[in-house]
Chains A and B, each alone.
Chain A
Amino acid sequence: MMETALEFKEVRKSLGGKEILKGITFSVRVGDVFGYLGPNGAGKTTTIRVLLDLLPPDGGEVWLFGRPSDPETRRRIGFLLENDGLFDGLTAAENLFLFARLYGAPRPRVRELLELVGLKGKERDRVGTFSKGMRQRLALARALLHDPELLVLDEPTAGLDPTGQMEVRELVRELAGSGKTVFLSSHNLDEVERLCNRIALIHHGEIRLQGETHELMRGDRTGYVVEPSKPLSPELIQGLCSQADLGFAGEEGGALLFEPREGMGLKTLVSRLEEMGIEIEAIRRARASLEELYRRIIVEEEWGTSSQS
């Protein structure tokens, strides 16, 4: 069994009389890049605040590295919160020195990390003069100062331009590659889909979905997406429709979706299409996009709620 880096067990939290977390349970395994998805106000930030002991839970337990969360285990977490949390009046190096001192990290590590995030030469510049992208990279460097095993990132690319987003994503990818466990809270579906191997979706303070990203995205779809090498004529499309056992489900952006009847394998499908004169460029298993999943759970629920009211 894989070791668990983080576990939320039936965690509840109310603020101002409103229940924000309604007994949420999920776990993050060591080495996971775990995407924590949800719309604004779903409870993502509250979850992170409970995880970092900024808010005590009203019920349930938070476990870190196989034991209940305590100051000692929390030292193994590096974090980047929604606001970068940098001190504007201090220089880049001073910001890092402060946290190096708090975590007992060696001073040379500051220079090392400034170089890693591409801020070498900016050590003596006041953070107040930095662009959003530079601030975010510096905040990431701060999160890595004590070489944490679990990295908690709350909307790390929010407010960044595309270049900044790419840089931060690349950095997260590198960190994950180096064996760090990453807990990534985001409402950027594309980002989560690209980076995370496991996800959980929170809505109205409840976990609605969790598991392996590819498993969830495959979902209840069993079919195939076929990309023909040239566009199909209307006659061919009609021909596909007439053969019910092929399960032709439609065309999307030039790709054909098939949900063949039970018993028909991929080989049979390919040979039948070739018999019809369709040249195949590529074929892959059909899967729902994260956006589709999200829409199915969140948007449809919201619509349901609003139409009922």
Chain B
Amino acid sequence: MSASLVHDFDWIARQMPGAPALSWHGGVWTYADLQLAAGATQARLLASGIQPGSRVALLIRNSPQYVASYFGVIASGCVAVPLNVQERASVLSRQIEHAECSAVIADPQHQEWGALSEVIAPKTPHIVTVDLQPGTAGCLAFCAEMHADAELKLPELQVDEPAMMIYTSGTTSRPKGVLLSNGNLVANARAIAAYLRITPNDKVLCGLPFHFSYGSSVLNSNLISGAQLLLEDNFAFPQQTLKRMQEEGVTGFPGVPSTFALLLGRCQLSDFDLGKLRYITQAGGSMPRAQIEKLRQQLPNTEVFIMYGQTEATARLSYLKPEHLETKLGSVGMPLPGVEIEVRNHEGNVVASGEVGEIYARGPNVMLGYWREPEMTAQVLRDGWLHTGDLGHLDDEGYLYIDGRAVEMIKVGAFRVSPQEVEEVLATFPGILEVAVTGVADEVLGQSIKAVIVLREGAPADLRGVKAHCRQHLASYKVPKIVEFATALPRTSSGKVQRFKLA
């Protein structure tokens, strides 16, 4: 069966070519602009002889050019590999190599591009750089850079063929690519669009990065529905964000707990006229109940959707209907239509309601697997079920509650950070004998990273050097906020480090 995001996007774009699709830095791209630019990307890739199924990396921050490249890659039957623009060149080059990318489409202004392009140039057959300019001029420049002016062509795209690969945090620094099919993307996007009731009348302000599953799902679900996305670079200036929401008459706003902590921390939402704000969505980790209450108080006429999912399930597995927010406070709701969720024990048996176990999920949104990692894939995909690694329980009525993670991860804002990845980088700093990393409570981010270091005898406690080393090798959100030096790490009698005692 032929079904894909670009089929759905193309259909809506033909219905409403002049409607605004993306608003960014004061300029607007219409659905026709986006269709044209996606067609130009597709033509460029095909003209370069890139075969369907090839991986094409995207190193472009949220912008219309990212979206055009993303749709163009999928329309070519290739696999879009969006890279985390916050990562360092060493990580990016490892991912590009790991994905065996045939092409890279990049923003040459990216701060790591100089170092990265030198490393990847000899091994990457096609490198295309695109300037990020807003508005129609930006669209025309993009098409010119692609050296193509062609209509978007819709080939046969099979539901079980890969369309996207998202790198996610593994338990080590080894790249872990979640491979998603055309069917995964379109099923999840349609389900989300349906429960949020997204229509062409919607204007959604999005500051979530598209290279992560949550941001990507916002992009997909809105652009197959004819809605307009207003791209926001960051939430550093919450007053400005709220003013833009007021002026533009924003109807939808997706965020993670730290987004709402930033907005609610310094501003009174009720000072702004957000009367058109129909809904808010929250995913990416649990939000404190007090914050949910505060949102409800300050925005009494806005529906709040609490959601749960993971990259391995494309993005979304469950959501709590706004009308159940009070009676089921703390729950992440019920499975999406077409998705099944079970909670099972260590033996793989379904547990009774109220009992905590691992969350299993099955549905059209469950990934194809981890790229080039059959063993890792077999560990999490068994008998058609995804073993999420999350712990939870269901209540008597089938509402899901999250109780933690079976696999140790630190959640910094919306980002999952593996303690091992940070430890591996720290261990390469001279003078460090051993190190352990854990998450500690943080008012805004939920958790921040703490490292406890044991030095070799005579080695200096170079706090600044340690942090600078981390910044050089890790994305900035992975740099430990707190670094302490100790004489020994807390261990169990069997010698295992007790991370919980580090906090």
* A-B interaction: no
